[in-house]
Structure 1
Amino acid sequence: MSRRLLSWGIILIAFSVLMSACSSGSNKEANTATATEQATATKVVKDYFGEVTIPEKPKNVLVLSSIYAEYLIEMGVPPQMVIFVPEVEPDYRAPYFKKNGIQMIEAEQYQYNYEQLLSLSPDLIVGIGIGMEPGTYEELSKIAPTVAINADSEMKTAMPELASIFDKTETSKQVLAAFDAKAKQAREQIQQAIGDKTVLILRVESERYRVMGPKAANSSAFFYQTLGLHSPEAIKDSTDWFSPISLEALPDMNPDYIFVEDRILKDHDNTESMKKLKENKVWASLTAVKNDHVFPLKTSDFVHGVGPVGSVLLMNNVVEKLVK
Structure 2
Amino acid sequence: MKKQYMPLLTACVMIVFLLLASACSGSSKSNTASSTPNPSATPAASASFPRTITSAKGEQVTITKKPEKVALVHWGLTEDLLSFDIPSIGIALPFAEKQSLLGIDLYKPYIDMHKEVTIVGENTEVNMERLLQYGPDLIIAGTETNQKVVDQLSKIAPTIFIDETKTDVWNDWPGVMTKFGEILGQEDIAKQNIDKFNSKVTEAKDQLKAVQGNVAYLQVRDKTMWLQGTQYAGHYYEPLGLKAPEQAKGEGAAITLEGLVQINPDYIFLGYFNYRDKSLPALADEWEKSDVWKTLKAVKENHVYKIDGEVAYGFGPISRMFGTDAIVKALK
Q: State the partner residue of 1:200.
A: 216
Amino acid aligned to 1:178? K
Shift of 1:118: 0.6
Question: In 1, Cα distance between the equivalents of 2:114 and 2:188?
Answer: 24
Shift of 1:254: 1.0
Question: In 2, Cα distance between the equivalents of 1:270 and 1:321?
Answer: 24
Tell whether 2:225 aligns with 1:225. Answer: no
Q: State the partner residue of 1:31.
A: none
Q: State the partner residue of 1:33.
A: none
Q: State the partner residue of 2:26.
A: none
Shift of 1:262: 2.7
Provide, for residues 9-36 of structure 1, a one-character-per-residue CA deviation record: whole Å limited to 9, x for no partner. xxxxxxxxxxxxxxxxxxxxxxxxxxxx
Question: In 1, Cα distance between the equivalents of 2:137 and 2:221?
Answer: 40
Bigger relative contact order, structure 1 or 2 (CA pairs below 8 A, ≥6 apart): 2
Larger fraction in helix: 1
Tell whether 2:151 aligns with 1:143. Answer: no
How many pairs align? 268
Q: State the partner residue of 1:289.
A: 299
Q: State the partner residue of 1:17.
A: none
Provide, for residues 127-152 of structure 1, a one-character-per-residue CA deviation record: whole Å limited to 9, x for no partner. 3x264142223232222122222331
Residue 300 to residue 263, structure 1, CA distance change in 2 (3 Å): closer
Shift of 1:94: 4.5
Shift of 1:100: 0.6
Question: In 1, Cα distance between the equivalents of 2:314 and 2:116?
Answer: 18
C-alpha contact 2:221 2:283 (8 A) present in aligned 1 = yes
C-alpha contact 1:55 1:123 (8 A) present in aligned 2 = no
Amino acid aligned to 2:148? G
Percent identity at matched positions? 24
Residue 275 to residue 320, structure 1, CA distance change in 2 (3 Å): closer
Amino acid aligned to 2:221? E
Amino acid aligned to 1:186? A
Provide, for residues 200-235 of structure 1, a one-character-per-residue CA deviation record: whole Å limited to 9, x for no partner. 011233443221122x14xx1221133222122x32
Tell whether 2:263 aligns with 1:247. Answer: no
Question: In 1, Cα distance between the equivalents of 2:79 and 2:260?
Answer: 37
C-alpha contact 1:88 1:304 (8 A) present in aligned 2 = no
Give the secondary structure class of the aligned counterpart of 2:250.
coil
Q: State the partner residue of 2:88.
A: 80
Q: State the partner residue of 1:161.
A: 179
Contiguous gaps of at least 5 residues in structure 2: 1-48
Tell whether 2:327 aligns with 1:318. Answer: yes
Question: In 1, Cα distance between the equivalents of 2:100 and 2:137?
Answer: 27
Residue 130 to residue 44, structure 1, CA distance change in 2 (3 Å): same
Residue 130 to residue 92, structure 1, CA distance change in 2 (3 Å): farther
Residue 69 to residue 291, structure 1, CA distance change in 2 (3 Å): same
Shift of 1:272: 5.9
Amino acid aligned to 1:190? L
Amino acid aligned to 1:82? G
Residue 270 to residue 213, structure 1, CA distance change in 2 (3 Å): farther
Give the secondary structure class of the aligned counterpart of 1:50.
coil
Tell whether 2:289 aligns with 1:279. Answer: yes
Question: In 2, Cα distance between the equivalents of 1:159 and 1:303?
Answer: 18
Residue 79 to residue 227, structure 1, CA distance change in 2 (3 Å): farther
Residue 230 to residue 130, structure 1, CA distance change in 2 (3 Å): farther
RMSD of the TM alignment (CA)?
2.8
C-alpha contact 2:80 2:316 (8 A) present in aligned 1 = no
Question: In 1, Cα distance between the equivalents of 2:148 and 2:50?
Answer: 25
Amino acid aligned to 2:303? H
Provide, for residues 29-49 of structure 1, a one-character-per-residue CA deviation record: whole Å limited to 9, x for no partner. xxxxxxxxxxxx865422333
Q: State the partner residue of 1:180.
A: 198
Q: Which has the larger radius of gyration?
A: 1
C-alpha contact 1:72 1:79 (8 A) present in aligned 2 = no
Q: Which of 79, 90, 101 is residue 89 of structure 1 equivalent to?
A: 101
Question: In 2, Cα distance between the equivalents of 1:144 and 1:121?
Answer: 8
Question: In 2, Cα distance between the equivalents of 1:139 and 1:203?
Answer: 37
